[in-house]
Structure 1
């Protein structure tokens, strides 16, 4: 009994003074850190929902909505009163077309359409390049004859360029979708009427200029060519004429009161500007090589004729 008590005292965990010692728990080392949290379960893959294709009717409704959203922008372009207003409206329309293309890209065309939906998107993608091509003429500040281009002409050419681009877009969409599609019917504006500067013509037989005294000579003119012509009678240079007369193609006119010996110059073209007394497009400038004797009456035919005896040469613009 005494020995047992001593063993128990020696194994006691209480130090002197009666206070208990801190206990220590030892764990066996492991390869992985331990945690009290439950393991995160691996998520089960969910099937991706299949995108539904529109029906043919639904697709046409989507195109009709696109057209409705673009129509007002086209109208703003066509109603622009100045080139500055046109440029602003044109930029807004380009942005609208790009946004509508993005909206169309979010939908699936009907299966029966095949690759048609992709071609529709391609038609919208081609619009900017068409605009660049179709606005080239309006960006030029000179006419084909080198004269300053009227603002009304530039604006007409610019609006016509946008209209052409819209027509190209709508035609490409309709071709991609197939028969029964009328995309663009409301969006396409009517063709514009050219301004007077582009369609101007003088009156047949109209005297354009006259200077100095009159003589007794007569010059009969037959214009059998395809263009209107201004015939200039000048003692020396065409910019200082005795008299000049407008002769429409397919018409005749007689110039009276010619004096002395003279040269005959003629210029032809289209888009006659009565203010500057010049053709503004498709110009050509020529003269007869031989001088005319004012003692006689002459007849000239402004087109190549069999048996003709008068040669001509090109000259500088006048």
Structure 2
């Protein structure tokens, strides 16, 4: 009795361009479906859950792609695709801590931030892949749409803690950014008024010597009484004497 030799194990060779493109297409469609689900999320909780799912799918599809041998002339594309699938690892995102004069993002804006973070992490750094294969052209759905910046009504008195005084301020905002002008006695707020860009507003009835703090920024959050983006704060270095209605400009001409 003679034994037949055991056939040598064979390593699968590189895929053809057409076969490799089919693999890329399946990977792309799987990622796109998961990201589209995240983009459709309507709450922060749902979006953070979607982030976790996207991270898992990316890891799974990276494993799928690592298991195939690309055509030799597409080796660079293969490496780029693997890097793309490694661009986001999942996990939840917490609302940023308020800093300086910036207030916390409202839910709608934070929801957008969660989606944008994932979208940008996966987005191809350049279009190299899309030029050499079809991969990348349909990897992601349309990007999330940012909520519009909110603005206060010009002249709105945001805070009013003192009345009946003979002092006041008349403010001209010559800048391109809305402003909140806060009037203080020491560290105590007497009142504040919202002044839109290229507009004028007044706050009267103030008492005693006053200090002025000026906050400019984007996306006014009325509930938080502050800007959620690009907030900057400046202040007068000296108090203004009591009993006068002071006129001054804020912002930068341009």
Alpha-carbon deviation of 1:304? 7.5
The answer to whether the Cα contact below 8 Å between 1:220 and 1:252 also exists between their aligned partners in 2 is: no
User: Gapped runs of 5+ residues in structure 2?
Assistant: none
User: Gapped runs of 5+ residues in structure 1?
Assistant: 1-37, 306-318
Residue 98 of structure 2 is aligned to residue 143 of structure 1: yes
Q: How does 1:78-227 map to 2 (within 5 A)?
A: 78-128=39-89, 138-145=93-100, 147-168=103-124, 171=125, 175-176=128-129, 178-179=131-132, 181-185=134-138, 187-194=140-147, 199-210=149-160, 211-213=162-164, 215=166, 219-225=169-175, 227=177
The residue aligned with 1:3 is none
Alpha-carbon deviation of 1:206? 2.6
Aligned length: 249
Residue 224 of structure 2 is aligned to residue 276 of structure 1: yes
The residue aligned with 2:236 is 287
Q: TM (normalized to structure 1)?
A: 0.64
Alpha-carbon deviation of 1:99? 1.8
1:83 and 1:47 mapped to 2: Cα distance? 55
Secondary structure of the 1:112 match is helix
Q: How does 1:49-64 map to 2 (within 5 A)?
A: 49=10, 51-64=12-25
Q: How does 1:209-248 map to 2 (within 5 A)?
A: 209-210=159-160, 211-213=162-164, 215=166, 219-225=169-175, 227-234=177-184, 236-237=185-186, 239-241=188-190, 243-248=191-196
Alpha-carbon deviation of 1:161? 0.9
**Which structure is richer in relative contact order (CA contacts within 8 A, separation 6 or more)?**
2
2:232 and 2:252 mapped to 1: Cα distance? 18
Alpha-carbon deviation of 1:182? 4.8
* Residues 143 and 253 of structure 1, relative CA distance in 2, 3 Å threshold: same
The structure with the largest alpha-carbon Rg is 1
The answer to whether the Cα contact below 8 Å between 1:163 and 1:188 also exists between their aligned partners in 2 is: no
Compute the RMSD of aligned alpha carbons. 3.3
The answer to whether the Cα contact below 8 Å between 1:229 and 1:267 also exists between their aligned partners in 2 is: yes
Alpha-carbon deviation of 1:147? 4.4
